[in-house]
Amino acid sequence: MKILITGSTGYLGSTVVSILKQDSSIKIFGIDIKSPERESSYELFIRGSVTDPKVMAKLFEEAKPDVAIHLAFVVNALHDESKEDEIAIRGSLNFLECCKEHKVKKIIFMSSAAACGAHPDSQQPYTESSPVKGNKAYSYSRLKAETDRIAQKFMHDCPDSNFVILRPCLFVGPNTDNCFFEMLKFPLLPMIFEDGKTKDPDFQFIHELDMAKCIVAAIEKDVRGIFNIAGNGTLKYSDMALIAGKRRIALPFWLLYPATTLLWKLHLIGSPPGQLDFIRYPWLMDNSKMKRELFIPEKTTEEAFREFIDSR
């Protein structure tokens, strides 16, 4: 089996590669802007960008993959939204157009729970058919929503492919590098005070190894469609602070948002202000379809988060 992976040297991609390499019959073809630690793991690795259509065309022509997995994305926000847009949208379109041209049998597209967004009026938990609205003020969420919609259109246009869209919650583990958790670096964990109460939404997590195994399950199983991905159980934001050994401080939203905006513009923090809505409102996923048809995570939400904290 020939498997092509974009974003293959990221912390999730490299974990997927390490699992797949245990099967000697699998040939791996990868592309990323960073070289892998072991290029010998690959039949072919190209150091380059998914935004380059010629590079992508060359990779697909060389690989002629049975399975193509799109993991490449900007997770940690840049101070350049036009560049984020190019990587997310152009990169996704290049990948999907190559898949369509080469009639790839299995396509796995990584979306996110953030594609559905965090809103005060959304019906919880999100199902696979929930609206993909995103949060316009948070580029990661906005772009995950836009690329999710693009992928759904391609899924409709490629009826002969087993097209899988994965929408995971936050995945955590020893290798996690996500600006969402930058707040854990500070001695006081900010909580939003609004409408006379402190916001304390529930969160879901999946361990990074479970996430990688879930992708492998999507390769191996005869499945098609959209899957929400999350560990069992939830964890209050306040409980995350307790587990992380952080004191909490409740700040009014009218103060916290402009303060975060200023710090972001001064390049003093890596988390954009639009991310605040994700500690303001819940964005929980219904994971029943995942457990029924695709994969059952080994670790719960709390177990995954505790291991993440212990590894820091």
In a domain, 265, yes or no: no
Alpha-carbon distance values, 178 to 76, 77, 171 (Å): 6, 9, 9
Q: Are strands 162-168 and 225-229 parallel, antiparallel or unpaired?
A: parallel
In a domain, 151, yes or no: yes
Report the number of secondary-structure helices (H) and strands (E) in the chain.
10, 14
- What is the full DSSP assignment across 194-216? ETTEE---EE-EEEHHHHHHHHH
- What is the structure's pLDDT at 216? 98
pLDDT in tens, the chain (312 residues): 999 999 999 989 999 999 999 999 999 999 999 999 888 889 999 999 999 999 999 999 999 999 999 999 877 677 677 888 888 899 999 999 999 999 999 999 999 999 999 999 989 899 999 999 999 999 999 999 999 999 999 999 988 899 999 999 999 988 887 767 878 888 889 999 999 999 999 999 999 999 999 999 999 999 999 999 999 999 999 999 999 999 999 999 999 999 999 998 998 888 889 999 999 999 999 999 999 999 999 999 999 999 999 987
Q: How many domains does the chain have?
A: 1
Q: Which residues contact 291 (CB under 8 A, 6 or more apart)?
A: none
In a domain, 247, yes or no: no
- What is the structure's pLDDT at 292? 97
Closest CA to 128 of 166, 163, 96: 166
- What is the structure's pLDDT at 179? 67
Q: How far apart are CA 112 and CA 188, in angstroms?
A: 28
- What is the structure's pLDDT at 300? 98
In a domain, 220, yes or no: yes
pTM for the complete prediction? 0.94
In a domain, 244, yes or no: no
CATH value at residue 78: 3.40.50.720
**Secondary structure (H, E, C), 252-293:** EHHHHHHHHHHHHHCCCCCCCHHHHHHHCCCCCECCHHHHHH
246: helix, coil or strand?
coil
Range of the domain at 17: 2-171+205-230+285-296
Q: Which two tokens stand for residue 1?
A: 């089996």
Q: Do the beta carbons of residue 132 and residue 170 sit within 8 Å?
A: no
In a domain, 182, yes or no: no
Q: Which two tokens stand for residue 108?
A: 């796995």
Tokens 């490299």 -> residue: 14
Q: How far apart are CA 205 and CA 11, in angstroms?
A: 16
- What is the structure's pLDDT at 168? 97
Cross-sheet strand order for the sheet of 162-168: 44-47, 27-32, 2-6, 67-70, 106-110, 162-168, 225-229
Cα torsion at 297, 120, 74, 302 (round to 10°)?
A: -30
- What is the structure's pLDDT at 41? 87
Q: Do the beta carbons of residue 168 and residue 112 sit within 8 Å?
A: yes
* Size of the chain in residues: 312
In a domain, 266, yes or no: no
Q: Do the beta carbons of residue 294 and residue 218 sit within 8 Å?
A: yes
Question: Which alpha helices (H) appear in the chain, and where do they start and end?
Answer: 11-20, 53-63, 81-85, 91-101, 139-157, 208-220, 237-243, 253-265, 288-289, 301-310
Q: How far apart are CA 158 and CA 205, in angstroms?
A: 31
In a domain, 184, yes or no: no
